[in-house]
C-alpha cells in the first residue's frame, strides 16, 4: 500500500504534526521500530512517525489531521500486547499515550477512579493503597489502563473480579473524525441508549482512541491467603478447579502451572517447588473465611490425589509467588535460548477445560514441540507458549499447524480463539471461523464509525 499518493499524504500530515508537536514527533528508526513490533514472533511493521501526546486535546488534533490526509493512526500504550496490536502494516502515526499518566480523580465513597489512558495498573494501585482500595484486573504485565480497556484484558483475578469489560464504567475516546466522546457516567448502571462503553472495550483501537478511563475499585481485603498445591496431572488440576468453581468457592485467583513451567520457575525465580503440575491460588476475605476457603480447597485436592496445599498470608511470600507466575513467559524463554516464542491463548467452558488442555498436551507431544501451558483456569482460559527455531522450516510448520489445531479445538468445544490476548493482526484469520455471519455486522460497525479505515487498520474486524 506504499504508493506515491500515500507517501505524499503522509509527508503533508507529518508537516502539520511537526508544527503541532515539535520534538515530540519522532521519525527516528529505533523509536519507530519499537512502536511497531511486540514481544512475539509476529513480524510487526514500523509506523512513519511516533507522536508522544500529553492530553486528549492533542490526540483530537492528531486524529483530525490524519483524517484529512487519510493517514492511519495507531494507539500505543506500554507495548505489552501479544498479537501484533500496534504494528503499522500501512504506515501512519503511532500515538504514544504513555505520557498521559495523570490520575484525574478518585471517588472513594463511590468506589471508582478516573485516570488518563497511560496510567498503569501498578501506578494506580500504589496511589490507592493508603486509601484501602485497589484495582483488581491483573494481566501480569504492568500494562496501561487504556490499553487494557482497548484489549478487554483480564488476568489472574478475573475469576472473582471479572475482566476489563466488567470493571470499566465509562471512557473518553477520540473517534475517527476527531470528535471526542464520553461513553457514560459514573453510575453503576444505566439503561440510556446503546452501550458504547462495551463497544469500545475490546475494540483494540479500531473504533476510537481511548484517552480516559473510569474504573471500578474494591476494598483491600482484611485477609489475603495465597498458596500452591501440586497435583499428579494437569487433568487433576483442572478437575480440582472445576469442583471449586461449581461448589461456589470464592477463589480470587486459581492458576494452572504445568510441570515445565514449575521447572522454569524454580530456575528463574529461585523457588523450590515440586516439579509437577501445580495450582497457584489466592483467597480474599476475613481471616476466618480465607482459612476456611483454603481448608476446603485442600480437601478437594486430596480427593484428586493432590496436595499438600501450602499456603501463606505474609505479603512478601505472596508477592514472591505471584511474581514468579507473572514472569512465566521470561522463565520458559530462559530454558530455550536461541528459539523464538509464540505465546497464544484460548478459552473454553470450564466443563471442557481438562479435555482441551490434555488434548493440547498430547498434540504437542506427538508433534515434537515444546509448548508449556499456564492459565487462568478459573474461567477456562489457558495459554500455550510455543517455541521454535525460525531457521528450521519443518519446526515452524509444525508450530503453525499445532497452533491452528489448538484454535479449532477450542472453537469446537464452544470456546473462543482468544480469552484475553485479543485479535490484533495475529488472529484475524480466525474471526470468521468463530463468529460466522456476525463478523459482517462487526465490519459494518467499523465502516460506520471509521469510514476511511484510518484507526488501526488491518486489526481485529478492521479488515
- Confidence (pLDDT) at 122: 96
- Confidence (pLDDT) at 319: 87
If asked whether residues 142 and 244 sit together in one domain, one would say no
In this structure, are strands 93-96 and 49-52 parallel, antiparallel, or unpaired? parallel
If asked whether residues 228 and 314 sit together in one domain, one would say yes
The alpha-helical segments, DSSP class H, found in 247-379 are 259-268, 287-303, 315-326, 328-335, 353-366
Could you tell me how far CA 142 lies from the centroid of its own chain?
Answer: 11
* Domain of residue 357, residue span: 335-422
If asked whether residues 402 and 341 sit together in one domain, one would say yes
Strand segments (E) across 16-122: 25-26, 49-52, 73-76, 93-96, 103-107, 112-116
Q: Is 455 within 8 Å of 208 (Cβ atoms)?
A: yes
If asked whether residues 107 and 214 sit together in one domain, one would say yes
- 274-283 burial code (b ≥16 CB/10 A, e <16): eebbbbbbbb
Q: Is 147 within 8 Å of 78 (Cβ atoms)?
A: yes
CA distance 52 to 164: 25
456 part of a folded domain: no
444 part of a folded domain: no
Last residue in a domain, options 171, 200, 219 = 219
Grid coordinates representing 427 are 488472529
- Confidence (pLDDT) at 342: 85
Q: Sheet holding 223-230: strands in order across?
A: 310-312, 223-230, 278-285, 251-257, 373-376, 381-388, 340-347
435 part of a folded domain: no
Contacts of 391 (CB under 8 A, 6+ apart): none
**Whose CA is closest to 154, among 461, 434, 381?**
381
Looking at the DSSP bridge assignments, the partners of residue 25 are 51
451 part of a folded domain: no
Low-confidence ranges of the chain (pLDDT < 70): 1-6, 462-463
If asked whether residues 50 and 79 sit together in one domain, one would say yes
Residue 371 vs residues 209, 342, 348, 396: alpha-carbon distances, Å: 35, 9, 19, 13
Sign of CA dihedral 419, 420, 426, 429: positive
If asked whether residues 215 and 114 sit together in one domain, one would say yes
Residue 317 vs residues 142, 224, 314, 425: alpha-carbon distances, Å: 20, 11, 5, 39
Q: What is the DSSP letter of 415?
A: -
453 part of a folded domain: no
- What is the C-alpha radius of gyration for the chain, rounded to an integer number of angstroms? 22
Q: Is 268 within 8 Å of 385 (Cβ atoms)?
A: no
CATH code of the domain covering residue 403:
3.30.70.2740
- Confidence (pLDDT) at 160: 94
If asked whether residues 254 and 293 sit together in one domain, one would say yes
In this structure, are strands 93-96 and 73-76 parallel, antiparallel, or unpaired? parallel
> What is the residue whose three cell numbers read 480474599?
284
Contacts of 355 (CB under 8 A, 6+ apart): 413
Last residue in a domain, options 192, 219, 246 = 219
If asked whether residues 137 and 183 sit together in one domain, one would say yes
58 part of a folded domain: yes
CA distance 80 to 330: 13
If asked whether residues 227 and 201 sit together in one domain, one would say no
CATH code of the domain covering residue 268:
3.30.70.3450
447 part of a folded domain: no
If asked whether residues 125 and 192 sit together in one domain, one would say yes
Q: What is the DSSP letter of 456?
A: S
Q: Is 437 within 8 Å of 96 (Cβ atoms)?
A: no
Cα three-residue angle 31-35-39, rounded to 5 degrees: 120
If asked whether residues 373 and 302 sit together in one domain, one would say no
If asked whether residues 164 and 194 sit together in one domain, one would say yes
The alpha-helical segments, DSSP class H, found in 103-233 are 121-128, 145-150, 158-161, 164-167, 196-200
CATH code of the domain covering residue 38:
3.30.43.10
CA distance 92 to 237: 46
324 part of a folded domain: yes
Last residue in a domain, options 202, 219, 236 = 219
Length of the chain: 463
pTM: 0.93
Q: What is the DSSP letter of 188?
A: S
What's the total number of domains in the chain?
A: 4
Amino acid at each position: 500500500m506504499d504508493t506515491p499518493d500515500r507517501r505524499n499524504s503522509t509527508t503533508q500530515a507529518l508537516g502539520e504534526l511537526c508544527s503541532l508537536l515539535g520534538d515530540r514527533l519522532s521519525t527516528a528508526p529505533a523509536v519507530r521500530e519499537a512502536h511497531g513490533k511486540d514481544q512475539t514472533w509476529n513480524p510487526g511493521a514500523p509506523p512513519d512517525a511516533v507522536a508522544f501526546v500529553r492530553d486528549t486535546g492533542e490526540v483530537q488534533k492528531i486524529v483530525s489531521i490524519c483524517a484529512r490526509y487519510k493517514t492511519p493512526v495507531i494507539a500505543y500504550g506500554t507495548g505489552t500486547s501479544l498479537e501484533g496490536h500496534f504494528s503499522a502494516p500501512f504506515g501512519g502515526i503511532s500515538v504514544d499515550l504513555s505520557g498521559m499518566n495523570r490520575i484525574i480523580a478518585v471517588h472513594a465513597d463511590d468506589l471508582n477512579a478516573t485516570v488518563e489512558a497511560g496510567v498503569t495498573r501498578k501506578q494506580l494501585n500504589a496511589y490507592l493503597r493508603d486509601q484501602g482500595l485497589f484495582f483488581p484486573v491483573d494481566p501480569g504485565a504492568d500494562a496501561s489502563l487504556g490499553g487494557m480497556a482497548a484489549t478487554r484484558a483480564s488476568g489472574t483475578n478475573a475469576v472473582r473480579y471479572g475482566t476489563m469489560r466488567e470493571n470499566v464504567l465509562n471512557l473518553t475516546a477520540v473517534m475517527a473524525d476527531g470528535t471526542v466522546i464520553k461513553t457514560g457516567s459514573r453510575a453503576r448502571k444505566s439503561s440510556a441508549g446503546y452501550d458504547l462503553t462495551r463497544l469500545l472495550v475490546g475494540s483494540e483501537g479500531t473504533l476510537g482512541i481511548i484517552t480516559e478511563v473510569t474504573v471500578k475499585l474494591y476494598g483491600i481485603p482484611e485477609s489475603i491467603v495465597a498458596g500452591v498445591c501440586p497435583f499428579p496431572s494437569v487433568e487433576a488440576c483442572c478437575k480440582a478447579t472445576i469442583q471449586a468453581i461449581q461448589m461456589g468457592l470464592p477463589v480470587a485467583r486459581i492458576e494452572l502451572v504445568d510441570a515445565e513451567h514449575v521447572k522454569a520457575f524454580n530456575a528463574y525465580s529461585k523457588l523450590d517447588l515440586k516439579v509437577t503440575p501445580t495450582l497457584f491460588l489466592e483467597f480474599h476475605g476475613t481471616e476466618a473465611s480465607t482459612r476456611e476457603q483454603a481448608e476446603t480447597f485442600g480437601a478437594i485436592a486430596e480427593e484428586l490425589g493432590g496436595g499438600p496445599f501450602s499456603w501463606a498470608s505474609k505479603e512478601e511470600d505472596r508477592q514472591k509467588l505471584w511474581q514468579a507466575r507473572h514472569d512465566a513467559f521470561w522463565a520458559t524463554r530462559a530454558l530455550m535460548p536461541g528459539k523464538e516464542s509464540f505465546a497464544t491463548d484460548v478459552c473454553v467452558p470450564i466443563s471442557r477445560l481438562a479435555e482441551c488442555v490434555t488434548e493440547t498436551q498430547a498434540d504437542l507431544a506427538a508433534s515434537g514441540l515444546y509448548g508449556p501451558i499456564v492459565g487462568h483456569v478459573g474461567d477456562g482460559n489457558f495459554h500455550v507458549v510455543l517455541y521454535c527455531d525460525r531457521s528450521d522450516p519443518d519446526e515452524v510448520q509444525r508450530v503453525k499447524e499445532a497452533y491452528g489445531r489448538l484454535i479449532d479445538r477450542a472453537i469446537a468445544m464452544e470456546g473462543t480463539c482468544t480469552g484475553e490476548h485479543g485479535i490484533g493482526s495475529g488472529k484475524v484469520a480466525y474471526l470468521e471461523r468463530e463468529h460466522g455471519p456476525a463478523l459482517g455486522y462487526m465490519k459494518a460497525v467499523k465502516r460506520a464509525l471509521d469510514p476511511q479505515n484510518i484507526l488501526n487498520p488491518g486489526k481485529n474486524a478492521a479488515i
